[in-house]
Amino acid sequence: MASKRALLKLSGESLSGGGSSIDSASLKRTAAEIKTALNAGDIQLAVVIGGGNLWRGAGKSMDRVTADKIGMLATVMNSLALNDSLKDAGLKCKVFSASGVSGFAEQFNREKAVKCLEKGNIVIFAGGTGNPFFTTDTTAALRAAEIKADLLLKATQVDGIYSADPKKDANAVKYDSLSFTEAIEKRLKIMDSEAFSLCMQSNISISVFDFYKDGNLSKALSGEKIGTVVENR
The 10s digit of each residue's pLDDT in 15-48 is 998 777 899 999 999 999 999 999 877 899 999 9
pLDDT of residue 1: 55
Nearby residues of 192 by Cβ (< 8 Å), 6 or more positions away: 135, 137, 138
Total structural domains in the chain? 1
| CA atoms within a 13 Å half-sphere pointing along the CA-CB vector of 52 | 14
**pLDDT for 59 beyond 80:** no
| CA atoms within a 13 Å half-sphere pointing along the CA-CB vector of 174 | 14
Q: What residues make up the domain containing 30? A: 5-231
Distances (CA, A) of 223 to 10, 42, 61, 205: 19, 13, 44, 11
Range 165-193 average pLDDT: 88
Check if the beta carbon of residue 24 is closer than 8 Å to that of residue 84.
no
Q: How confident is the model at residue 193 (pLDDT cuts 50, 70, 90)?
A: confident
Check which CATH number belongs to the domain holding 127 and give it. 3.40.1160.10
Q: What does pTM read for this prediction? A: 0.94
